[in-house]
Structure 1
Amino acid sequence: MADTKREIERKYEATPETRLPDLTRVGGVSTVHDLGVQELDAVYYDTTDLRLAAASITLRRRTGGDDAGWHLKLPVAPGVRDEIRAALSPALPRRLKALARARTRDAELVPVVRLRSSRQVTQLLAEDGTPLAELSRDAVRAERLDDGRTAAWDEIEVELADDGDPALLAKVDKKFRKAGIPASASPSKLARALDETGLSVPPQATAPADAPQDEAPGDAGEHVLVYLREQVAALLAYDPGVRRDLPDAVHQMRVATRRLRSAFRTYRKVLDRDVTDPVGEELKWLAGELGVARDTEVLAERLRARIDALPRVLLLGPVRGRLRRWTAARGSGSRRRAVAALDGKRYLALLGSLDALLADPPRLKQAGGAPDVVLPRAVIKDYERLAGRVEHALALPPGHERDLAMHDARKAAKRARYAGEAATAALGRPARRFAKRMKAVQSLLGDHQDSVVARDTLRDLGIQAHASGESAFTWGLLYGQEQRAAADRERELPQVWADAADENLRAALSG
């Protein structure tokens, strides 16, 4: 069984002679309680080419201390990691291995570095004895397990207690800096051990969106590739969250797949479609596997909100209970399906294809063009495609055909929005404004489509209720509300589209 701890900490350089300042003078800290010395022994695992280290992920088996066991640490933000723990067993627990699978693929995990630490632990306590943070002073000895090279250093960690206030760490940091204790240059013990024993961590092919760039992208092709790298990085980052069933993880991973597909289509004159189209089809498959879980989640939230807004006298029969059973039945199956897709060979093959595409991009002639010339053309083409679909939908009478046309327009709006987002780094404010306006159109059309899907589900729930001898009145009432919501969106569309279809904005995109 595994459990998770959110780890928020700061690390500092130290020597055996480093003297700590009086931390009882830090606001909120009343007492510093000595917990003694712990002897820790940890073996860190990775692939032979250090794929986990390249992604700032650590996997270790540690003995000693009060949390002995297997620990997988996943980055959340600078100084923040989720530590997933499992019991101390001889073999690596399958769940932890699965959480790292998008990075390791089929490569074997092997022992890489052994760290032995003599840790002096103290607690920072509030006046009522509540733990605020834990301060660890470590004397670390590192050993490479392939050639026996070693390194040693001292360091200090200050880790926030569960549910603690991050402002405390800022106060401690200020105190440390005044005392001449500098922040550590390494983000983790493992990173320092690898560096000081001569193991070189490879650069990531997919840099996170907020990673600093050595230099600005040059031509149009490089601008597109930077955007693609960001989306692949997001896809990989959300993989463990989907497996852990974290809120919004499925949605964010699905968005990354859609942005990738959209970029392939929008910039098809920049990157060769003979290469990107097959990858796009696999991304469509993955989005579909993830979509079952996400669609169930969104629909259930929408129906719950509708039910919560009704007066109690209009809730006839076990309405909430029936919706809970429907959600549980759909949700458990869809989650199993999503995780099964991530565990399958097809998904690993897709990740390999994305790696290959980024490593050897299929650049076309326009890839070498100026970004402010090539990218606006592609964005405006998507805009014109959306304009045609909106006009077609508005020309149809209300009913099934218009519903289908508005759904097609919604997909075109999403593509136009993503096109603008992808071009923002190159085109600046005009692209950002364009994306914002396309998002407004997408949101309205998305709400319309959600009402169409909700009506189908409400009809099914009404039939089930009637067949079970329950009143179907409430389901019919909710159906009517969704029908009215769809009609409202249809009436609003002409004005929302008029606001978005600004010729001045279009001209600004073209410079």
Structure 2
Amino acid sequence: MADTKREIERKYESDDSGLPDLTGVAGVADVVDKGTVDLDATYYDTSDLRLASSKVTLRRRSGGSDAGWHLKLPVAPGVRDEIHAPLSDTIPGELATLARSRVREGQLVPVVRLRTTRDVQHLIDAEGRLLAEVSVDRVRATRLFGGEGEAQWTEIEVELADGGDPAFLDKAEKRLGKAGVRPSKSPSKLARALAETHGGKPHPKEPDAGEPGTAGDHVLAYVRAQRDAIVELDPAVRLDTEEGVHDMRVATRRLRSTFRSFPKVLDRQVTDPIADELKWLAGELGVGRDLEVLAERLAASLDEVPPLLVDGPIHDRLRNWAEAGDRGSRRRLLGVLDSKRYLTLLDTLDALVAAPPLLKAAAGKPEKVLPKAVHKDFAKVTDLIETGMAQPPGTDRDHGLHEARKKAKRTRYAAEAAHPALGKPAKAMVKSMKSLQSRIGEHQDSVMARATLRELSAVAHAAGESTFTYGLLYSREEQRAAAVEAELPDAWKKAKNKARF
């Protein structure tokens, strides 16, 4: 099983003069020489360097205290998540899987070999705790595929200790700067090796869109951001990290909403089939996510019930129901992410961004084109809320408010896309629709909770168990929904007053 750690480091140029004295760095009580180690790393990528284009690295390294396979995923400048697997002759399947959203159907081959002689020092505080590891690396790079040649250089690397305060790196950098040491121009050793050896055909990059000018520019910038989010969140979903599934699902919804909100900017004859595939993906992502949210809601509600009113093994039944559903949905989701259909969708999104199906309105001024689209979506929300609330309490009202919530999301996402162009009015619309979406979402969560409680109560009754507590929870959910319905007219009135361009 691979291990994950957060790597926070900075790299600096070096002229072979060694490491400056760092005893003057604030907080450093001692600098401990840890000796020299020889590292031998082979970096893997596709023939067109798809991983390098995404600032992702996959390597097999021997030597040092962490020999093995390392997959590094970018988080922020100077921050990466490093996933480690034991040393082996072939690429570990788990790491290859985590790189799949970038690699797709490509083959991973050795592209660069780096042999490094590393002089290591530890910066220690007054209590003997490690603050950072500082190394002077003398590197020799050899191109293995897609080019030829060698390159040599020396650099200084400062890596923050696990759990350390990133502000310490600023203190170390200040001391290095006074000694004439400057930050490296390359973000990684691999990037420098590729730049300083010859040949290779990097994965085609999309042209720099520059500053958005037209309505189409703004819509495409939003589309591109959501496409990037889906690709970048893929490893998080596979690793089952907190909010990974939720965030990817939101990105798919934002894309679908954008296609439908701006039909005069992007040709729906092209985007509708893509939207259908995004709906499929969102549905698959939602199977486990919806279950998780519902299980947490029911468990929290049960915790609020006085012990004397908890009759029967309801705790066990809720837990078993949630665990069984989670196991099945997790296996299914991983199968989806490994499917040909999913990888084809990623390729299709790349093609859409590279050659967008722009219509005449795309060339228009954003302050004229974008507000019309946002207002059109907003009008649909108005109609759905008024129609839904006109229905008597029950299934028709529940369905109408659920549709209103979905349209409120679409309006919110349209306003998000328009925000860079329209400024504060669009921001106010986003805030207003988010609040409304949350409020109606509470109503829909109650609807789903009541449906589940009915099912679980029927199973409990068939097993000869008491269903009293299920009925109590059901009644409380009814009260929650009724409270939302009572507050909604005033909340909607306030939302309409705030959401103006």
Do they fold alike, i.e. is TM over 0.5? yes
Counterpart CA distance in 1 for 2:492 and 2:204 is 44
Counterpart CA distance in 2 for 1:340 and 1:47 is 23
SS of the residue 2:357 aligns to:
coil
Q: Deviations over 1:252-287 (max 9, x none)?
A: 000000000000000111111110000000000000
8 Å Cα contact 2:295-2:322 kept in structure 1: yes
Shift of 1:200: 6.7
- Equivalent in the alignment of 1:96: 95
1:379 to 370, 374, 383: 374
- Trace 1:150-229 onto structure 2 (pairs within 5 A): 150-198=150-198, 201-202=202-203, 204-205=205-206, 215-229=210-224
SS of the residue 1:148 aligns to:
coil
- The farther-off stretch of 372-381 and 121-130 is 121-130
- Aligned pairs, number: 499
Shift of 1:157: 1.4
Shift of 1:317: 3.6
SS of the residue 2:385 aligns to:
helix
- Equivalent in the alignment of 2:287: 292
- Equivalent in the alignment of 1:209: none
- The farther-off stretch of 213-222 and 108-117 is 213-222
Q: Deviations over 1:380-412 (max 9, x none)?
A: 110111111011011111111100111111111
Aligned AA for 1:258? R
Aligned AA for 2:426? A
8 Å Cα contact 2:47-2:201 kept in structure 1: no
Aligned AA for 1:11? K
8 Å Cα contact 1:47-1:109 kept in structure 2: yes
- Equivalent in the alignment of 2:358: 363
Counterpart CA distance in 1 for 2:133 and 2:103 is 33
8 Å Cα contact 2:432-2:499 kept in structure 1: no
- Equivalent in the alignment of 2:2: 2
Shift of 1:27: 3.5
8 Å Cα contact 2:384-2:404 kept in structure 1: yes
Counterpart CA distance in 2 for 1:314 and 1:154 is 71
Aligned AA for 2:98? L
2:451 to 447, 456, 464: 456
8 Å Cα contact 1:205-1:355 kept in structure 2: no
Q: Deviations over 1:217-270 (max 9, x none)?
A: 121111111110000001111111000000100000000000000000001111
Counterpart CA distance in 2 for 1:448 and 1:471 is 27
- Equivalent in the alignment of 1:67: 66
Residue 473 (structure 2) pairs with residue 478 (structure 1): yes
2:226 to 200, 220, 231: 231
8 Å Cα contact 2:264-2:361 kept in structure 1: yes
Shift of 1:505: 4.2
Counterpart CA distance in 1 for 2:373 and 2:75 is 34
Aligned AA for 1:476? G
Aligned AA for 1:145? L
- Trace 1:77-116 onto structure 2 (pairs within 5 A): 77-116=76-115
- The farther-off stretch of 469-478 and 363-372 is 469-478
SS of the residue 1:334 aligns to:
helix
- The farther-off stretch of 318-327 and 462-471 is 462-471
Shift of 1:203: 6.5
- Equivalent in the alignment of 2:142: 143
Residue 262 (structure 2) pairs with residue 263 (structure 1): no
8 Å Cα contact 2:419-2:427 kept in structure 1: yes
SS of the residue 2:212 aligns to:
coil
Q: Deviations over 1:134-179 (max 9, x none)?
A: 1121111111113431111111111122222222222212222222
Cα 1:193–1:324, aligned 2, differ >3 Å: closer, same or farther? same
8 Å Cα contact 1:205-1:229 kept in structure 2: no
SS of the residue 1:501 aligns to:
helix
Shift of 1:22: 2.8
Counterpart CA distance in 1 for 2:237 and 2:492 is 35
Cα 1:467–1:339, aligned 2, differ >3 Å: closer, same or farther? same
Q: Deviations over 1:177-205 (max 9, x none)?
A: 22221122211111111112245755754
Structure 2 residues without counterparts, runs of 5 or longer: none
Counterpart CA distance in 2 for 1:244 and 1:204 is 28
Residue 275 (structure 2) pairs with residue 276 (structure 1): no
TM-score by length of 1: 0.94
Cα 1:200–1:192, aligned 2, differ >3 Å: closer, same or farther? farther
Shift of 1:463: 2.8
Shift of 1:115: 0.6
- Equivalent in the alignment of 2:396: 401
Aligned AA for 1:271? L
Q: Deviations over 1:327-350 (max 9, x none)?
A: 111111111111111100000111
- Equivalent in the alignment of 2:340: 345
Counterpart CA distance in 2 for 1:77 and 1:320 is 42
Shift of 1:322: 2.5
Cα 1:376–1:17, aligned 2, differ >3 Å: closer, same or farther? same
- Equivalent in the alignment of 2:423: 428
- The farther-off stretch of 12-21 and 463-472 is 463-472
Aligned AA for 1:290? L
8 Å Cα contact 2:19-2:156 kept in structure 1: no
Aligned AA for 1:48? S
Counterpart CA distance in 2 for 1:142 and 1:368 is 47
**What RMSD, in angstroms, separates the aligned Cα atoms of the two structures?**
1.7
Q: Deviations over 1:71-117 (max 9, x none)?
A: 10011122111111111111111111111111111011111111110
Cα 1:48–1:457, aligned 2, differ >3 Å: closer, same or farther? same
Counterpart CA distance in 2 for 1:19 and 1:364 is 58
Cα 1:253–1:505, aligned 2, differ >3 Å: closer, same or farther? closer
Counterpart CA distance in 2 for 1:137 and 1:19 is 7
Residue 314 (structure 2) pairs with residue 315 (structure 1): no
TM-score by length of 2: 0.96
8 Å Cα contact 2:449-2:477 kept in structure 1: yes
SS of the residue 2:213 aligns to:
coil
Aligned AA for 1:60? R
Counterpart CA distance in 1 for 2:7 and 2:209 is 30
8 Å Cα contact 1:55-1:204 kept in structure 2: no
8 Å Cα contact 1:73-1:83 kept in structure 2: yes
Shift of 1:466: 3.5
Counterpart CA distance in 1 for 2:347 and 2:270 is 13
